[in-house]
Amino acid sequence: MGALDEGHCNEEEESCIELGFEREAETLAIEVAVKVLLQGLGEDINREGLQKTPLRVAKALREGTRGYQQKVTDIVQGALFPEAGLENGTGHAGGVGGLVIVRDLDLFSYCESCLLPFQVKCHIGYVPSGQRVLGLSKLSRVADIFTKRLQDPQRLANEICSALQHGIKPTGVSIVLQCSHIHFPTLESAFLEPSHHGFVKMLVSSGSGVFENEKADTWGDFLSLLKFRGIKVDKIHSRDSGDKCWCPSQTSSKVGPANSGMTTAVASILRSLGEDPLRKELLGTPNNFVKWLMNFKNPHLEMKLNGFVLGRMDALKSIGDDLVHSELNLSFWSQCEHHLLPFHGVVHIGYICTDGVDPIGKCFLQSIVHFHGFKLQVQERLTRQIAETASSVLGGDVMVVVEANHTCMISRGIEKIGSNTATVAVLGRFSTDPAFRTKFLQSIPKSTTTEG
């Protein structure tokens, strides 16, 4: 997976890929495989919302793994600039021994164990030599080459470090990565663990040259500057620990074998991306991905709406003889039907209840959220369906706000980590009386979505 001697794809060629790769054999093969996966979920691939899903998924995967076609030397060649060191005195600065750090590079990569994207905050340091320095923007571009591949955190750090060491030949290179992997619950665990933690996090490092020794003074300087960013450097994973429990799919409870036709389709996707499905680290990937995908096929899901006990709920200030009740921060997990990528967040439900009537219990409303969440969805439809179902049992006056983080906004398109979306549905008197809407909206906490 070394990039120093692989095929080259410059910016002009990337734009050609964007416009023309829809007809390429690899894209068509991924589309066929995605159709098999959708059919394995019992979906109608001709349904309007799914007709373009195979192509969207193919584009997202190929864009997200474009690093296989890129070459580090094409980035650093011509980007090394002369810079003198100190003219007089003792010390290090400039192009001879002066530490250079680029922090907080927000990137993403695809987990090689389950094919889900994970977030990466990358910090790079290097010590120039030979009175040459690298254009700072090129450090980000080199890191991006290796994140745009199927990865695990430690190998990703090692490959970025090695590429920079060989590409610019500095005195040393240091890498620290903060990685966050979504931990998607099963339907059963979502009901049993309403406070399910949404991310698995790992802090890893790699060093070469003067940074090869983790106890070297240069590491101390580098890490001291990272502490200013709130990074707990004592939590950095040991490079030699051999810990294989990064991906939640590797620690999840054992279940039966996945659908063979679907796992074959995932293996085909791996080949189309330029990977070898028989590579040791990828042997379990098709099965892991299919098991995760099958979270969104549950023929007995309707049973989850029954048998919940009604309870008390806090009421907001009354308006006339009616009370505005709210249930806030109901967790949800879902799957974008356009890109087959997860989105998750919280749901807030407000409704009007006549004074003296007991409100509906939280667990019942949570079951409504999970009922509509654990399937292929779009956020707008999810919001409407929750509102309509809640309205049918709450008397018609309902307002629903859904706040979500979308993996597809991280791994494609704007590639914006930390962005989130909100959708609103108002029914009954909430749609006609601003006072009711205001009371409910003022009860929603300022920060509610879960981020990596």
Residue finishing a domain among 253, 288, 321:
253
Residue 248 shares a structural domain with residue 324: no
> Is the residue at 159 inside a domain?
yes
Same domain? For 215 and 313 the reply is no
Residue 432 forms part of a structural domain: yes
Q: Which residues contact 108 (CB under 8 A, 6 or more apart)?
A: 64, 117, 118, 119, 120, 147, 410, 411, 415, 417
Say how many domains are in the chain. 2
Q: What is the average pLDDT across 29-42?
A: 96
Give a yes or no: residue 129 inside a domain: yes
- Please say which residue of 210, 231, 253 terminates a domain: 253
Instruction: Say if 423 falls within a structural domain.
Output: yes
Task: Return d(Cα 384, Cα 398) in angstroms, integer.
Answer: 11
Query: CA torsion, points 445, 446, 448, 449, in degrees to nearest 10?
Result: 160
Distance between first and last Cα of the chain? 27
Which residues lie closer than 8 Å to 165 by C-beta, 6 or more apart? 172, 173, 208, 209
> Do 70 and 191 belong together in one domain?
yes
Position 362 scores a pLDDT of 85
Residues 179 and 69 in one domain: yes
Regarding whether 339 and 196 lie in a shared domain, the answer is no
pLDDT at 185: 77
Same domain for 157 and 229? yes
98 and 228 assigned to the same domain:
yes
Q: What is the pLDDT of residue 361?
A: 76
* pLDDT tens-digit series, residues 124-150: 999 998 888 899 999 999 999 999 999
Residue 261 contacts residue 287 (beta carbons within 8 Å) = no
Q: Does residue 370 fall inside a structural domain?
A: yes
Residues 324, 187 within the same domain: no
Mean pLDDT, range 78-98, rounded to an integer: 70
Residue 388 lies in a domain: yes
The model's pLDDT over 160-193, given as tens digits with 9 standing for 90+, comes to: 999 999 999 999 999 999 999 988 777 777 766 6
- Of the three residues 253, 272, 297, the one that is the final residue of a domain is 253
Is residue 53 a part of any domain in this protein? no
285-293 vs 25-40: helix crossing angle, rounded to 10 = 50
Amino acid occupying residue 276: D
pLDDT at 6 over 60: no
pLDDT in tens, 258-292: 789 999 999 999 999 999 999 999 999 999 999 98
Tell me whether residue 181 is in a domain.
yes
CATH number of the domain where residue 97 is located:
3.30.1130.10
- Residue 421 exposed, middle or buried by CB count within 10 Å (0-12, 13-18, 19+): middle
> Which domain range does residue 156 map to?
65-253
Same domain for 99 and 214, yes or no, is yes
Shared-domain flag, residues 88 and 160 = yes
pTM greater than 0.75: yes
Note whether 72 and 206 are same-domain residues.
Answer: yes
- For all residues of the chain together, what is the average pLDDT? 83
**What is residue 196's predicted lDDT score, i.e. its pLDDT?**
62
Query: Are residues 247 and 335 located together in one domain of the fold?
Result: no
